[in-house]
C-alpha cells in the first residue's frame, strides 16, 4: 500500500526529496553550499582553459545562478507586495509613455531630435511590409484564444465558453466585432436566441483589465486582460502582420532563427543581441500613429481595436493620480498603444522594432520615399534578408550598428535592458530562450513552478538534465548515475512512472525520454507501443465500442491529444511489430499537426484544462467519439485515469455546434 503521509514541504516551497535532488545536482556542478544561498550575480565571462573547458566552466556557474532565480513565490504577504511593486512600475512606464506622447503631439519632436531620416525610413518599411489593408483577410482570420478574458477566467478560457453567450467588448470595437460575427450564420442564429438586436450580443465595457504574472523570483510582469470580443479581432490583425513579415525574413512563428543568430554572434562576435525593458509599455500611442499614418486603414483598424482604458484594482487605485471612477470601477487612461496580453501586441512591437532597427542602415535599401504626414507613403523597398532579426523585444543587429540602434531607441523612449543585452567582444549571446557561450549551448534549467509534488516535475527536471546539449558539463557516468538514482525515487513516489518510457518528441513531461536504441528495455514499447496501449485504456475506461469508434476518434488527429514522433527509427520499429493494416493506418493518421493552430497535439496549451457542463451548452447529442479525454501531454491524465472522466470539446467542433 502506498504511504498516505502528506509530503513534507521545505522552506523553499519544495517537496523535501525534490529539494535534496536539486542540492545534489548543485553539488555535481561544483557548488557546496545550501540551495537558499545560490549565487545571485551573473558569472564572469573570463574563464580559463580551452574553448570547451571555458564553456563548461561558465555553464556550471551560469546554471547555479539560474537554477532557482525564477522560482515562484508562495507567500500571500510577499505576493501582495510584488503585485503592488509591479503596479507602481507599470504606472512609471505609463508616465514615461505619456511624456513621449506629449512630445510627439505638441511639437515637431522628430525633426528637433534629428530622427526624421530614420523615422521616415522606418515608416516606409512598415507601409511596404503591410501594403493595403485587406478586409477579407481580416474577417477570415478572426479567432478566440484559450486564455483569460475580462469575463472568463483562464480555466474557462476555451473558445466554447466564449461562443456560448454575449461577448465583452469596447464600444470602439463593437462595429468590427459584430460585422465578423454576422458572417457566421450558425453563430448568428445562436445569438439571435439571446436577442434579435445585435448590440445585445455584446456586453460593452470601457476597456481591458490590469493584472500581472510572475517573471522571475521577486518580480512580476504587468499584463492586460482584454475583452474577448476585442481579442477575437486583435488576433486576426496579429496574424496578418506575421504573414506580411515573412517575405522580409522575419518569421514570428520560429524562435530558432534568433537562436541560430545568437549562437553565431557568440562565436564570431559579429551580431549583438538586444533586449528591452518593458518594451510593449513604451510603444506609445503617437509613435504608432506617426509610423502608420493616422488616416491609413491599418491605423484605423488598430486604433479601433486597442483598449484606451485599463481597469485597475480598487485597492491600488489611490496610487494612480490619473484614475477615473465610473460604473463602480477605477479606470486608467492607457498611454501605451497596446499592453502585453493584447492580441496584436507581440506582432506590432516586433514590426516597429524591426523597422526602426533597419532604418539605421544607409539609404541603398530604400528608394523613392515620399512621406506625407498623417497619410500614406509612396515607396519602393528592396527587402533585405540580412542580419537583422526580431522576435517580440528580442532584437538581433549587426555589431557595427549596435550603438546607433541603441541611441535611436533611447531617443524614442525605449530602454535597452543592459543585463540581458550582449554585444562587442563579450563571448556570450542570449535570445529567445537560447543561451550561447563561444558557440556552445549553455541554456540553463530554470526551476519555476516545479515543487516536486506532482510527477511531471520529476519527469521535466530529470529529462532536462539528460537531454541538455552541453553533455560535457557533467561526466557521462556521473550524470547517468544521478538520473537513475533519482528516477528510482520518483518511481517509488509515483508508481505509474515505473517503466513509462516515451520517444523524445513526446515532450519532457510525458514519461522517461528514451531514444530508439533504449526502447528495448521498456515493457510498453517492447510488447505494445505506448500510444496504442494508452488509447486502449481510454476506450476500455469509457466502454467505446470497437474499431469504428477507435478510428473515428483518431480522424484528423484532434480527439486523442496524442502525437506520434516523425523519427523514422520509431516508425520502422512500430511497422515491424504491427503488421496489421489498421494499426499502420493509425500510425499515419496520428502524425500530423492541428491545422488550426499549427501546433502538435501534445501541446496541452491548445486545449482547455477545465471540464465543460455539456447540458448547459445544448450538446447532448455529442457522443464520446466527439470528445477527448482531459488532456496532458499524452492525451491522458495518467495519475487520475481511474477517476471520474472529465471531458472538453474538441476545437474542430467550434463553428458547427448549436
pLDDT tens profile 135-144: 999 999 999 9
The alpha carbon of residue 583 and the mean position of all alpha carbons in its chain are separated, in whole angstroms, by 35
The alpha carbon of residue 545 and the mean position of all alpha carbons in its chain are separated, in whole angstroms, by 39
Neighbours of 549 (CB within 10 A): 16
pLDDT digits (tens, 9 = 90+) for 501-560: 877 777 888 888 887 666 554 443 333 333 333 333 333 333 333 332 333 333 323 333
Given a contact cutoff of 8 angstroms between Cβ atoms, the answer to whether 508 and 463 are in contact is: yes
pLDDT band at 7 (very low <50, low <70, confident <90, very high): low
**Distance of alpha carbon 431 from alpha carbon 418, whole angstroms:** 13
Note the pLDDT of residue 137: 93
pLDDT band at 383 (very low <50, low <70, confident <90, very high): very low
At residue 238's C-alpha, the angle toward residues 657 and 330, to 5°, is 85
pLDDT digits (tens, 9 = 90+) for 603-638: 333 333 333 333 333 332 222 222 222 222 333 333
Q: What percent of the chain lies above the pLDDT cut of 70?
A: 72
Please report, for residues 112, 335, 394, 606, the alpha-carbon distance to residue 90 in angstroms, rounded to integers and kept in the order given: 28, 11, 20, 30
**Distance of alpha carbon 560 from alpha carbon 634, whole angstroms:** 8
Sequential DSSP letters for 575-629:
HHH---HHHHHHHHHTSS--TTT-S-TT-GGGS-SS---TGGGT-TT--GGGEEE
pLDDT digits (tens, 9 = 90+) for 453-473: 989 999 999 999 999 989 888
- Would the pTM count as exceeding 0.85? no
Please report, for residues 104, 408, 412, the alpha-carbon distance to residue 113 in angstroms, rounded to integers and kept in the order given: 11, 10, 9
Please report, for residues 60, 445, 465, the alpha-carbon distance to residue 38 in angstroms, rounded to integers and kept in the order given: 12, 14, 19
Would the pLDDT of 589 be above 50?
Answer: no
Note the pLDDT of residue 346: 95
Strand partners of residue 435: 430
Note the pLDDT of residue 156: 82
Note the pLDDT of residue 11: 58
Q: What's the mean pLDDT in 415-440?
A: 92
Would the pLDDT of 90 be above 50?
Answer: yes
Note the pLDDT of residue 158: 81
Amino acid at each position: 500500500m502506498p504511504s498516505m503521509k502528506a509530503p513534507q514541504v521545505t522552506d523553499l516551497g519544495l517537496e523535501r526529496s525534490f529539494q535534496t535532488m536539486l542540492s545534489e545536482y548543485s553539488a555535481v556542478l561544483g557548488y557546496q553550499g545550501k540551495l537558499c544561498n545560490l549565487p545571485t550575480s551573473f558569472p564572469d565571462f573570463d574563464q580559463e582553459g580551452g574553448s570547451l573547458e571555458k564553456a563548461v566552466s561558465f555553464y556550471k556557474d551560469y546554471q547555479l545562478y539560474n537554477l532557482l532565480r525564477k522560482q515562484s513565490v508562495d507567500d500571500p504577504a510577499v505576493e501582495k507586495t510584488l503585485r503592488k511593486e509591479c503596479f507602481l512600475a507599470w504606472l512609471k512606464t505609463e508616465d514615461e509613455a505619456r511624456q513621449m506622447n506629449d512630445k510627439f503631439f505638441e511639437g515637431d519632436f522628430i525633426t528637433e531630435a534629428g530622427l526624421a531620416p530614420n523615422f521616415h525610413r522606418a515608416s516606409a518599411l512598415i507601409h511596404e511590409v503591410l501594403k493595403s489593408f485587406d478586409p477579407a483577410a481580416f474577417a477570415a482570420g478572426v479567432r478566440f484564444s484559450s486564455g483569460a478574458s475580462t469575463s472568463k477566467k483562464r480555466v474557462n478560457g476555451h473558445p466554447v465558453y466564449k461562443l456560448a453567450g454575449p461577448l465583452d467588448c469596447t464600444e470602439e470595437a463593437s462595429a468590427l466585432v459584430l460585422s465578423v460575427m454576422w458572417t457566421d450564420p450558425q453563430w448568428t442564429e445562436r445569438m439571435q436566441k439571446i436577442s434579435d438586436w445585435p448590440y445585445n450580443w455584446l456586453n460593452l465595457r470601457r476597456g481591458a483589465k490590469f493584472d500581472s504574472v510572475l517573471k522571475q523570483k521577486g518580480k512580476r510582469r504587468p499584463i492586460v486582460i482584454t475583452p474577448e470580443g476585442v481579442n477575437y479581432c486583435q488576433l486576426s490583425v496579429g496574424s496578418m502582420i506575421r504573414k506580411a513579415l515573412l517575405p522580409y525574413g522575419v518569421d514570428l512563428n520560429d524562435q530558432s532563427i534568433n537562436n541560430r543568430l545568437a549562437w553565431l554572434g557568440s562565436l564570431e562576435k559579429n551580431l549583438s543581441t538586444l533586449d528591452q525593458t518593458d518594451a510593449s509599455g513604451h510603444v506609445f500611442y503617437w509613435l504608432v500613429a506617426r509610423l502608420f499614418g493616422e488616416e491609413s486603414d491599418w491605423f484605423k483598424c488598430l486604433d479601433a481595436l486597442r483598449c484606451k482604458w485599463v481597469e485597475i484594482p480598487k485597492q491600488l487605485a489611490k496610487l494612480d493620480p490619473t484614475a477615473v471612477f465610473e460604473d463602480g470601477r477605477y479606470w486608467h487612461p492607457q498611454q501605451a498603444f497596446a499592453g502585453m496580453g493584447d492580441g496584436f501586441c507581440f506582432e506590432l512591437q516586433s514590426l516597429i522594432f524591426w523597422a526602426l532597427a533597419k532604418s539605421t542602415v544607409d539609404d541603398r535599401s530604400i528608394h523613392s520615399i515620399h512621406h506625407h504626414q498623417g497619410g500614406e507613403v509612396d515607396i519602393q523597398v528592396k527587402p533585405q534578408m540580412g542580419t537583422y532579426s526580431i522576435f517580440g523585444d528580442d532584437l538581433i543587429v549587426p555589431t557595427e550598428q549596435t550603438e546607433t540602434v541603441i541611441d535611436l531607441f533611447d531617443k524614442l523612449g525605449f530602454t535597452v535592458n543592459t543585463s540581458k543585452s550582449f554585444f562587442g567582444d563579450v563571448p556570450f549571446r542570449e535570445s529567445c530562450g537560447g543561451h550561447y557561450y563561444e558557440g556552445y549551448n549553455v541554456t540553463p534549467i530554470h526551476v519555476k513552478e516545479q515543487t516536486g509534488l506532482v510527477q511531471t516535475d520529476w519527469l521535466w527536471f530529470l529529462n532536462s538534465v539528460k537531454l541538455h546539449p552541453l553533455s560535457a558539463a557533467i561526466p557521462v557516468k556521473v550524470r547517468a548515475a544521478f538520473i537513475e538514482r533519482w528516477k528510482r525515487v520518483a518511481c517509488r513516489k509515483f508508481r505509474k512512472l515505473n517503466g513509462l518510457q516515451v520517444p523524445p518528441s513526446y515532450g519532457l513531461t510525458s514519461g522517461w525520454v528514451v531514444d530508439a536504441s533504449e526502447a528495448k528495455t521498456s515493457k510498453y514499447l517492447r510488447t505494445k507501443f505506448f500510444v496504442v496501449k494508452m488509447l486502449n485504456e481510454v476506450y476500455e475506461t469509457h466502454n467505446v465500442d470497437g474499431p469504428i469508434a477507435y478510428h473515428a476518434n483518431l480522424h484528423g488527429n484532434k480527439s486523442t491529444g496524442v502525437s506520434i514522433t516523425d523519427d523514422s527509427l520509431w516508425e520502422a520499429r512500430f511497422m515491424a511489430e504491427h503488421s496489421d493494416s489498421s494499426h499502420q493506418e493509425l500510425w499515419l493518421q496520428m502524425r500530423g499537426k492541428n491545422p488550426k493552430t499549427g501546433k502538435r497535439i501534445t501541446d496541452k496549451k491548445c486545449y482547455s484544462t477545465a471540464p465543460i457542463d455539456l447540458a448547459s451548452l445544448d450538446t447532448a447529442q455529442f457522443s464520446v467519439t466527439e470528445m477527448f479525454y482531459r488532456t496532458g501531454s499524452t492525451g491522458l491524465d495518467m495519475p487520475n485515469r481511474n477517476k471520474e472522466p472529465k471531458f472538453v470539446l474538441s476545437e474542430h467542433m467550434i463553428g458547427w455546434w448549436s
